[in-house]
Amino acid sequence: MRTPAGIDCKYFYGDYYRGRSVEECRLLDASNQKWNPQLCKSCPVPGIARANSCEYIQLRATVTRPLSAFFMTRVQVFAYCEKSKRDVLEPQIGCGECHPIPPVFEVEK
Ligand code: SF4
């Protein structure tokens, strides 16, 4: 469903039937985090979903405020792979278990 920021996100739910105006983020709801429409503008979740469609990746989101009170709150995402049973540091790429990165893309040290 399309978020208030105009991006498709599978975790956004909106009910506008017969004058209703119910909107919620089911990813943040699952973590008992308070959602507001401004969070969708900078949220990384739609980008992660576009880049990585792995069926084993589990996302967990929290709302954070970086550094000081002057900055807007943002969604911070943590990813976990149910298959390899480990945290995923780059959710857009994945853990590398199912789809290993070809050696040509690895940086030599
Ligand atoms: S905050 Fe992020 S995950 Fe939640 S509905 Fe908006 S774009 Fe989707």
Separation between Cα atoms, residue 108 and residue 25, nearest integer Å: 41
12 in any annotated domain: no
* Closest residue by CA, ligand 1 atom 6: 40
The finding on whether 75 has its CB within 6 A of some atom of ligand 1 is yes
pLDDT of residue 83: 94
Q: What pLDDT, in 10s, does the model give residues 22-79? A: 999 999 999 999 999 999 999 999 999 999 999 999 999 999 987 766 778 999 999 9
Tell me how far the alpha carbon of residue 15 lies from the centroid of ligand 1, in angstroms.
Answer: 15
The finding on whether 45 has its CB within 6 A of some atom of ligand 1 is yes
Tell me how far the alpha carbon of residue 24 lies from the centroid of ligand 1, in angstroms.
Answer: 9
* Closest residue by CA, ligand 1 atom 7: 40
11 in any annotated domain: no
Separation between Cα atoms, residue 44 and residue 6, nearest integer Å: 14
pLDDT of residue 99: 77
Separation between Cα atoms, residue 51 and residue 59, nearest integer Å: 14
2 in any annotated domain: no
Q: How many domains does the chain have?
A: 1
47 in any annotated domain: yes
15 in any annotated domain: no
- pLDDT over threshold 90, residue 8: yes
21 in any annotated domain: no
Residue of 102 and 42 predicted with greater confidence: 42
Closest ligand 1 atom, residue 10 Cα:
8
8 in any annotated domain: no
89 in any annotated domain: yes
pLDDT of residue 65: 86
pTM of the model: 0.85
Structural domain containing residue 86:
26-105
